[in-house]
Amino acid sequence: MQFLNMFFFDIYPYIAGAVFLIGSWLRYDYGQYTWRAASSQMLDRKGMNLASNLFHIGILGIFVGHFFGMLTPHWMYEAWLPIEVKQKMAMFAGGASGVLCLIGGVLC
């Protein structure tokens, strides 16, 4: 059980990140003209700009929250921000970002 915990939470995120970065780089190098920006026709529908913006703002909020929440050590904020307040801020900001993402996804 200890090995699975170490693999999925210590090793696998780095493997996934490396595959993402190297795969994106190779795709850009070797398949540069196969990328398409066909979203302009989809965004012509009424309300799609609002839905797209809400969805992307929500996703960015969730990403930034996870990034700072998981990668910021406790000693950086424990002197001026109690853990209970940090958890409540994370729940409120994450909930708001999740609702924005959900509304944007449903409006599509």
Q: What is the pLDDT of residue 35?
A: 66
Pair 74, 103 in one domain: yes
Pair 51, 12 in one domain: no
Distance CA 96, CA 37 (A): 29
Pair 65, 105 in one domain: yes
pLDDT digits (tens, 9 = 90+) for 64-94: 999 888 888 888 888 898 989 999 999 999 9
Pair 53, 10 in one domain: no
Q: What range does the domain containing 20 cover?
A: 1-35
Distance CA 9, CA 16 (A): 11
pLDDT digits (tens, 9 = 90+) for 22-70: 999 998 888 777 766 666 666 667 778 888 899 999 999 999 999 888 8
Measured CA distances, 18 to 22, 33, 45, 78 (Å): 6, 23, 37, 31
Q: Is 66 annotated as a binding residue?
A: yes
Q: Which positions ≥6 away from 77 have C-beta within 8 Å? A: 86
Q: What is the pLDDT of residue 70?
A: 85
Distance CA 102, CA 96 (A): 10
Pair 52, 85 in one domain: yes
Q: What is the pLDDT of residue 28?
A: 85
Pair 59, 106 in one domain: yes
Q: Is 56 annotated as a binding residue?
A: yes
When divided into structural domains, the chain yields a total of 2
Q: Which residue has the higher pLDDT, 38 or 103?
A: 103
Pair 93, 48 in one domain: yes
